[in-house]
Amino acid sequence: MLADLINLQQQLKDDSSLSESERHRRDREIAKRFRGKLRDFTGQLRYWLCAVCGDKTESNGHRADLARRLIGLVLLVLGMLTGWGAAMALFDYDGTDPVNVVNILAILVLAQIMLLLLFAFAILPGGLVRRVPGARTLQAVIGLLNPGHLQSLLARLLAQRHREALSGWLGWGKAHSTLFGRVHKWMGLLWSQQFAVAFNLGALIGCVHLIIFSDLAFGWSTTLNVEGAFFHRIVSSLALPWASWFQEAVPSRELVEGSKYFRFKQGVGIQTPEDLKMQAQFLGGWWSFLLACLFTYGLLPRLVTLALAWWRLRAAIDFALLHVPGAVQLLNRMNQAMVETQATEPEVRARQVLVPRPRMSPQGLVGGPGYVVNWAGLAMEQDVIQDLLWQQLALETKALLNAGGSASLDEDQRTIARLSKTPNNQPIVLLVKSWEPPLLEFLDFVQDLRLAIGPRRILRVVPVGLADDASATPQDFEVWRNKLTTLGDPWVEVQALYRT
Amino acid sequence: MSPPEFAVVGHPNKGKSSIVSTLACDDSVQVAPTPGTTVICRRFPMRVDGETLYILIDTPGFQRARRVLAWMKQREGDASKRHQVVRQFVTAHHNSGQFSDECELLTPLVEGAGILYVIDGSRPYGGEYEAEMEILRWTGQPSMALINLIGSGDHIEGWKAALGQYFKIVRVFNALTAEFDKRLELLRAFGQLKEEWREPLDKAVASLEADRANRRLLSARAIAEMLVDMLAFKVSKRLASEGDAKVYETQLMNQYRDKLRMREQECRDAVQAIYDYHSLQREESAFKLVDQDLFSEHTWSFWGLSTTQLLATGAVSGAVLGTGADVALGGASLMAGAVLGSVIGGTSAWFSAKRIAHVRLFGIPLGGKEARVGPSRNPNFPYVVLGRALFHHACVASRTHARRDALILGEMAELTSTKAIPNELRRRLERSFVQARRGAGSGKAFRLVDELTDAIGTAIGEHGLA
């Protein structure tokens, strides 16, 4: 139980080294195998833990849980011994004064009822306690009486690995008291109730042992001025829970009246051996009442509080289990379908090709005649193109040819053939759509053209944009310039149209 | 049956990778203005619990479409043989190097993938596209044209007229701004391409919707956890004497604010991770409005509640506290606690609206003093934090994974402002805020987170605040 909590928190922390998709895939697979109820989230978490960690008995959680149980066991033994010792002391009878019933009732009944009330106060919920002034302080003081505090002392008896696992978790839990405060509280109370049950059991066994193996005489005596009738009313009230079905354990008026003794009288008025025998039987009549009291007001309530502490501890652990950092996300991964849309393999990036970047032709643009190729069907009228080139590049268009776009490859070749026959000193301007990327198809054309016209004739590539003045955006111009540079041809130049 | 595959094809630099990035919610896809960024096909399988429902394939763009078409036309038989010619082309040139891009993009098509042909509708149509559209027609595969909008121009009609001659379905889809619903709509349209593709695509859409709802819920929880932490947060320092309080006041206040800022940052990181944004951190300067300091005056006036809302909210928190007193008195107060509480709450909200927290001194039982800042009692504080968180969530949730630029903040900021939260929901939130301010004890903090998650989930989901 506690092991699950510690192991879960540890496992979720270890899990952070995995990617989200790795975790989701694994957790979803585990969830598919879970056969419990759909909304049994703690069950799911435990199943997950079992699936991920297996049955590791050497985990921190198991060590801490074992330590917890060992401490509980030691407290049980201690409780038994204390209870046995208390019974021996209270039922001590050396044949002089009878065993005083008042003492037994005060220690084994009244004090236990008082402790039960304190226990009830200690388990009041925090929200309620906060509203009552001073209640929190009182609760803290009551906490100090808890025999569960012996755990730090008892832990020293444990093996080092168990002791360290438990103290490690207790320290961590204190630091995260919002989440583990209730677990701590109920673990302490469980230990205290284990001790209390064992105490009552020890007392009961001690009592039975003395009753069976020795000859006890009971009486009652007090310095206070208490009449037999009043004391009878008290014991009758105490015997109410079993009065209807266990009459033998209800002291009669005669027994109460007859068993009152005064110390200075040296006994309870025993005169002869017959009297002695009769009186011994008569005074022994208290034992069944005392055993019933011990069972009803000692052991029984403590069994109930032990069960309550166990139940609340389990609930606190379940609650903490659901709220350990990462548990909500884990449940989400288990219960939500894993939707993956991303690529399964990394992207292969285009290899950066290193090319010579020769300095471009130093000639710049000079006015004069030249040939123009409209690549890919730039949607401009012929005269508009001519005007634009004249205005911006002082180019006198001798011929406007088409290539690329919807033109056929044969048309491209015809254009190349025609340009190869033009004078070598006249530039060729290639008008391209700046918004379209430079394709290999265009580079093929430029290379074919270069082969046809020779190596030292200027080819100017002019990206035309969609703006009113036909200028290209700086980004588009850069794309074209960079791409054409990869040709490594110093006589190919990318020319920008200036903005008007 | 193998899952349907969709090859996203087209001219280089027309947003193929952006569309894939948006549909696959994958910001690892390289989106660059340089043509030829994608050199080999990359597959993006959409899987639900390991079952592949469809596969998107990002492909390189056509580089020598006219040459490819010319090669094919030389081998043209009747129309029924055209797809075989395409296959022959791929087989013949697979290792040639001359048509590596074309072989790469045609391979999935000859293997049966559907065609998603992408063009940029912000630029005019040109004849150079005809060759590639013709090649795609030769493959005989089901196809759809997507008009993406990269720039600001509008040439959609021209494109529609041209595309309509080659593709039965033509849709406009902006990869950068497409809302989640638009993405689902597109996926449904994929299902219309072929009868047997409808079922897996419908299933994929349903899974994506459920996944989206889950991400919203996880985000709501992250925000709720942050709110509970921030509302209960305090810093303190033990002082030797009362006079030291002045010395440490600024230090404590700065410490308090820094921690809260850090917590807010953690929440943002968590929300971004929920939506699979792993590299958004570097671009966080884009969140100009959200990035303004949590404690700046502008932040408070923008994100906080109006004066009237503050008064009403203060009244609610006062009433919550007052009702507690009424309950404690077993109703003997005739609800006077609630009434008085609301009046006091409203008034104190008015007076404390401009102060986030202040340094207070407490006596320590064993002597000495402790200076403490927080938890914040300012009624506006949780709303400022919540407003910023909702807005950040809205920015992240509505962002597509194709975007690499800064966020554009428009009307959404107003929509996600806590001023827009309906009164009933604000009352629910306020009740939780009151509890959180009180410093929820063991266990209660987690219940508060659950309650707030529910309320914030409602704000995000039903009221469309994100």
Domain B5-193, architecture per CATH: 3-Layer(aba) Sandwich (3.40)
B100-140 confidence digits (pLDDT tens)? 999 999 999 999 999 999 999 999 998 889 999 999 999 99
Determine, for residues A340 and B45 on separate chains, whether the beta-carbon distance falls below 8 Å: yes
Q: What is the mean pLDDT of residues B343-347?
A: 58
Structure token digits, residue A413: 């070749």
Q: List the single residue in B with minimal CA-CA distance to A411.
A: B66
Distances (CA, A) of B43 to B14, B62, B101, B141: 19, 18, 16, 18
Q: Does the residue A171 lie in any domain?
A: yes
List, as ranges, residues 463-482 from A with C-beta within 8 Å of B: 466, 475, 479, 482
* B81 DSSP 8-state letter: G
Structure token digits, residue B84: 């075989």
For residue A446, give the CATH number of its domain.
3.40.50
* Structural domain ending residue among the three candidates A334, A359, A386: A334
Chain A residues close to B37, C-beta within 8 Å: 349-350
- If asked whether residues A267 and A320 sit together in one domain, one would say yes
- Is A343 an interface residue toward B (CB < 8 Å)? yes
Q: Does the residue A345 lie in any domain?
A: no
Written as one string, the DSSP assignment of A343-393 is -SSPPPBPP------PPPPTT----EEEEEEEET-----HHHHHHHHHHHH
pLDDT at residue B357 above 80? no
Q: Does the residue A97 lie in any domain?
A: yes
Instruction: Tell me the pTM.
Output: 0.76
- Is A408 an interface residue toward B (CB < 8 Å)? yes
B206-246 confidence digits (pLDDT tens)? 999 999 999 999 999 999 999 988 888 888 887 776 666 67
Report chain B's mean pLDDT, rounded to a whole number: 80
Nearest one of B37, B121, B9, B19 to B403, comparing CA atoms: B19
- If asked whether residues A325 and A373 sit together in one domain, one would say no
- pLDDT averaged per 10 residues, chain A (length 500): 84 87 90 83 90 76 83 89 89 75 85 87 76 76 71 73 75 74 85 92 90 79 78 86 82 78 54 57 75 90 93 91 89 90 77 54 64 89 87 87 90 93 89 91 93 89 87 88 87 82
- If asked whether residues A194 and A260 sit together in one domain, one would say yes
Q: Does the residue A145 lie in any domain?
A: yes
- If asked whether residues A286 and A387 sit together in one domain, one would say no
Contact, B326 vs B337, CB < 8 A? Answer: yes
Please report the pLDDT score of residue B109 as a whole number: 94
Determine, for residues A20 and B123 on separate chains, whether the beta-carbon distance falls below 8 Å: no
pLDDT at residue B194 above 80? yes
What is the C-alpha to C-alpha distance for residues B201 and B168, in angstroms, rounded to an integer?
19
**Cβ neighbours of B71 (radius 10 Å):** 17
Q: Which residues contact A493 (CB under 8 A, 6 or more apart)?
A: A360, A361, A458, A459, A460, A461
Give the pairing of strands B369-373 and B359-363. antiparallel
**Cβ neighbours of B312 (radius 10 Å):** 19
**Cβ neighbours of A129 (radius 10 Å):** 18
**Banded model confidence at residue B277, pLDDT cuts 50, 70, 90:** confident
Determine, for residues B64 and A438 on separate chains, whether the beta-carbon distance falls below 8 Å: no
Please report the pLDDT score of residue A197 as a whole number: 94
Contact, A219 vs A103, CB < 8 A? Answer: no
Written as one string, the DSSP assignment of A298-311 is IIHHHHHHHHHHHH
Which amino acid, B22?
A: T
- If asked whether residues A104 and A246 sit together in one domain, one would say yes
What is the C-alpha to C-alpha distance for residues B466 and B222, in angstroms, rounded to an integer?
15
Please report the pLDDT score of residue B72 as a whole number: 92
- If asked whether residues A280 and A330 sit together in one domain, one would say yes
Q: Does the residue A355 lie in any domain?
A: no
- If asked whether residues A317 and A443 sit together in one domain, one would say no
- If asked whether residues A409 and A277 sit together in one domain, one would say no
Contact, B401 vs B21, CB < 8 A? Answer: yes
Please report the pLDDT score of residue B288 as a whole number: 44
**Banded model confidence at residue B411, pLDDT cuts 50, 70, 90:** very low
Give the pairing of strands B114-120 and B5-10. parallel
Side-chain-side CA neighbours of residue B23 (13 Å): 32
Of A35-39, A330-334, B288-292, B419-423, the poorest mean pLDDT is in B288-292
What is the C-alpha to C-alpha distance for residues A458 and A450, in angstroms, rounded to an integer?
9
What is the C-alpha to C-alpha distance for residues B166 and B285, in angstroms, rounded to an integer?
44
Taking phi over 0 as left and psi of -120 to 50 as alpha, with beta for the rest, A95 belongs to left
Please report the pLDDT score of residue A262 as a whole number: 64
Structure token digits, residue A489: 């041809």
**Banded model confidence at residue B9, pLDDT cuts 50, 70, 90:** very high
Q: List the single residue in A with minimal CA-CA distance to B57.
A: A343
Q: How many CB pairs under 8 A join A and B?
A: 160
Distances (CA, A) of A268 to A217, A251, A260: 10, 17, 7
Please report the pLDDT score of residue B365 as a whole number: 57
User: Peptide bond before B35: cis, by omega within 30 degrees of 0?
Assistant: no
Structure token digits, residue B375: 């938890």
Please report the pLDDT score of residue B286 as a whole number: 37
How many independent structural domains does chain A possess?
Answer: 2
- If asked whether residues A381 and A325 sit together in one domain, one would say no
**Banded model confidence at residue B57, pLDDT cuts 50, 70, 90:** very high
Burial label, A317 (beta-carbon count in 10 A; 0-12, 13-18, 19+) = buried
Determine, for residues A406 and B214 on separate chains, whether the beta-carbon distance falls below 8 Å: no
Q: Does the residue A60 lie in any domain?
A: yes
Please report the pLDDT score of residue A469 as a whole number: 82
**Banded model confidence at residue B197, pLDDT cuts 50, 70, 90:** very high
Helix B423-437 / helix B444-461 crossing angle, nearest 10 deg:
160
Domain boundaries, chain B: 5-193, 213-461
Domain that holds residue A207: 2-334
